[in-house]
Amino acid sequence: MRTDILPLCDKHYRTMEACIAPFSADYSIEFFRCTEKFCQRCFGERLGYVTPQRGTPPVFSSDQPRCDSHNRPMFICNLDRQHNLVKYACPEPSCTDTGTLPVGSGIQVRP
């Protein structure tokens, strides 16, 4: 997991914190969790933004922006409140692919 990124929650646009959850005795899951009180949103580098629920597989949005080069879910790295735009970046190390979307939009727009 990259520790040099700080995704923003796709619901609250608050900084997310790095977390580790034990999956089994030999394996842990690394992800980012929203810091807003009672928010369950998470960002995982493989799944993107999800709200996990115990005992069920994660449900993710099919319209989540993905990197054109790596086909990985992109994370929100910046919110431009003046222009009402959200900037996305690829979690792949050294990838410079970015994208922007209007806040609340489900259609990807490239700069």
By CB atoms closer than 10 A (0-12, 13-18, 19+), residue 104 is: exposed
Tens of pLDDT, residue by residue over 42-53, are: 999 888 999 988
Domain membership of residue 39 as a residue range: 16-102
In a domain, 7, yes or no: no
pLDDT in tens, 13-67: 999 999 998 877 788 888 999 999 999 999 998 889 999 888 888 787 778 899 9
* Residue 109 within a domain: no
Residue 64 maps to a domain: yes
Provide the CB-side half-sphere exposure for 25 (13 A, CA). 0
10 within a domain of the structure (yes/no)? no
In a domain? residue 4: no
**Are the beta carbons of 53 and 66 closer than 8 angstroms?**
no
Q: Give domain status of residue 63, yes or no.
A: yes
Domain count, the chain: 1
Q: In the sheet where 85-89 sits, what is the strand order?
A: 75-80, 85-89, 98-102
Give the tokens for residue 16: 């997310």
